[in-house]
Structure 1
Amino acid sequence: MAVIGGGANCEHAVSLASAASVAEHLDPSIYDVVRLTIDPHGTWLDGGGRPLGLTGAACVLRRCDVALPVVHGPKGEDGTLAALCELAGVPYVGSGVRAGALAMDKWATKLVANAVGVATAPGVLLTRPVHTWTHPVVVKPVAAGSSHGVTLVDDAAGLDDALAAAFALDDRVLVEDVMVGREIDIAVLGRPDGSRIVSPPLEIVVDGVFGYEEKYGGRADFRLPAVLRDVDRKALEEAAIAVYDALGCAGVARVDFFLTEGSTHGAVLNEVNTMPGFTAQSQVPQMFAAAGLPYPELLDLLIRDALPANAGLVIE
């Protein structure tokens, strides 16, 4: 089987870590792992770091029974790698082309969520770096991950720099109202029979924006399981499944919310990650481990679910 990491985007280093962890935790008595890496310039490399090119990588993929693309962000999680696997005729773990593209696009995700009755933060879509300041906002690229280019703007003086940082990563930018509430993540795992496994909720305790340094600098404060009222937990689970299904996700996705108090919002969707961070220490593996599904078993389940029903147990 193929494990694909890296990527030509700002999440390259995170994707390398996820792919390395996935490969290391697959049972070698079951899986013959073929490592493929996409370097920051988009060149495909084999397990030894030698250039393959796209044609060579496609040939390698076609010899594999299944692929696990662990490439976060644009040119990977956005449906790009799913499309390559589809064209190569290789079964793959995770969401397909449509779901990956929709979920990567935060504006499209907002429209889908609102259509199925899930609240999102009020906001506007910008195609040029011009916006009139009226109140504190969060500025973010429409299609980027790991909080790159995301800025909490508390005053008018910081708005131009925030817009410039976001537009440096994308040609469309979201300016959203600041949501005051608890940050709660729910992971949803879809099975081939149509059933859904929902993880325990995870709360992120942070002062301000949960940015790149907080995520990967060892300063994140995770509460797992999050302490919630039954009514709130049920509302979050139902909203997560509704968005997962409306986007057409497959495999596992992490659905991030703000749980607000004293307003009509309640559970407010922040974003959906169809290929979230996947080291053993990442949120989703920790969430399922808390439910009694250890990381290696989670990987095994995802891979077996991606295989055709008549596939054998020996996977290359």
Structure 2
Amino acid sequence: MADGTAERLRVLLLFGGQSSEHGVSCLSAANVLEALDPARYEVTTVGITRDGRWTLVEDVPRTPLETDTDDPAAALPEVGDDGDTVALVRTRKGTQLVRFPEHDAPGSGASSLGPVDVCFPVLHGPHGEDGTVQGLLATQGVPYVGADVASSAVGIDKRQMKNVFTARGLPQAPYRPVHRARWEEDRDGVLREIEGALAYPLFTKPSRQGSSIGIAKCRDTGELVAGIEEAFGYDRVAIVEQGVDGARELECALLGNNRVEVTPPGEVRTAHDFYDFEGKYLDEGLELQCPAAVPEPIQRACREFAREAYLAIGCRGMARVDFFYIEGATEPVLVNEINTIPGFTPASMFPYAWSTQGLEAPALVDRLLELALEAGSRDARYAP
């Protein structure tokens, strides 16, 4: 009880995960936890280790396990491997979070930590943002923040996402998907097709990845080959996208289930060649601005396209939609991608954009949990 009269909502905060965005997830979860009012919420923090084990932690890690490293991703926090294992178990009394101690002391058997009212998955990338965790939560009857299984799967897969956006008539930069099997069978043929259809500079990226991980800017054939090979280190499908000269990157934040709210587009300023991993999370000179300093018709186009992209994949809860803005072009606004679990780090546009609209972090997480319970209540009517 928070004040002796009202029962607090039991929230499972889930973070970490097996993707290369593990550390980013920890940064985001730390900010979500800070925004959750302890008078209203009883929060259980569960980290997913890099090998996929759910482990009970006392707090969200905020500092890296390793400090002496040249790997940018290793400079971020990581879920430790010393906590007890936990799992969601559906019992006759409903779904419970169960602890499995990692020692054999007398009386150290599995024990229930109690029911979960709602889950806030702060997970980025595969095995978290792709519908897998959402499917697990759905089968356990636990409401959760964010997009459902189908929308999550489409949103993270750039190949399928772009197909859906094309069907919706949304403007995009020219691109080509490259399948690993085809690449290994006929590399020269693939290169001829790409260079015949797209103009340098090109960007290569894994189809199912975020935070600019595995992305490369390619100015010639040699760099294109290296970029595709790097992307294949993260996924079996690579996306090759035509670069847009002089483009500015704008982002809109969205909230809602049936009624969708969209912020004005914001802009991230970085000294990096493009908005890469280091620019997003390790650049102390990063600047956020919302609304972006662009003409009103451009702001309006971004908001309209953001709403269309959100509806196109059947999103709910929240998302961030990213754009390229090319001043003076025939099509000045191009849709880049949608993120169904946007970042909550200090350098993330999603919470910043909403704060400029008067929705600070505590109110924002309140709203997200309300939307999750609303969606869970609605979906329960259609349970098999």
Q: After alignment, is 28-37 or 204-213 more displaced?
A: 204-213
Per-residue deviation, 1:71 = 0.5
Alpha-carbon distance between aligned partners in 2 of 1:309 and 1:153, rounded to the nearest angstrom? 42
After superposition, residues 52-131 of structure 1 pair within 5 angstroms as 52=85, 54=87, 59-60=96-97, 63-128=115-180, 129=183, 130=187, 131=190
User: d(CA) in 2 for partners of 1:172 and 1:283?
Assistant: 28
Report the structure number with the largest CA radius of gyration: 2
Paired residue secondary structure (1:209): coil
| 1:299 maps to which of 344, 365, 376 | 365
Identity of aligned residues (%): 37
Give the stretch that moved more between structures: 62-71 or 28-37: 62-71
Q: Which amino acid aligns with 1:84?
A: L
| Equivalent in the alignment of 2:351 | 285
Name the CA distance, whole Å, in 2 between partners of 1:102 and 1:54: 27
TM-score (structure 1 length as normaliser): 0.92
In structure 1, the gaps of 5 or more residues are: 312-316
User: What is the deviation of 1:59?
Assistant: 3.6
Superimposed CA distance per residue, residues 110-134 of structure 1 (whole angstroms, 9 cap, x where no aligned partner): 1111111211111111012434263
Change (3 A) 1:55 1:93: closer
TM-score, with length taken from structure 2: 0.76
Greater CA drift, 47-56 or 122-131:
47-56
Structure 1 residue 98 displacement after superposition? 0.5
Q: Structure 2 matches for 1:1-316, cutoff 5 A?
A: 1-48=11-58, 49-52=82-85, 54=87, 59-60=96-97, 63-128=115-180, 129=183, 130=187, 131-132=190-191, 134=195, 135-180=200-245, 181-191=247-257, 194-206=258-270, 207-218=272-283, 219-308=285-374
Tell me how far apart the structure 1 counterparts of residues 286 and 137 of structure 2 sit (CA, whole Å): 34
RMSD: 2.1
Amino acid at match of 1:146: S
Letter in 1 for 2:132: T
SS at match of 2:41: coil
Q: Please, which moves more after superposition, 45-54 or 295-304?
A: 45-54
Gaps of 5+ in 2: 1-10, 59-81, 99-113, 378-384
CA deviation profile, 1:78-108 (whole Å, cap 9, x unmatched): 1111111100001111000001000000111
Partner of 2:102: none
Aligned residues: 309
The one-letter amino acid paired with 2:316 is: A
Distance 1:308 1:200, change over 3 A: closer
User: Is 2:144–2:376's contact at 8 Å kept on the other side of the alignment?
Assistant: no
Output the CA distance in 2 between the equivalents of 1:124 and 1:113. Answer: 14
Kept after mapping to 1: 8 A contact 2:281/2:347 = no
Cα shift at 1:309: 8.9
Q: How much does 1:280 deviate? A: 4.6
If asked which structure has higher relative contact order (CA below 8 Å, sep 6+), I would say 1
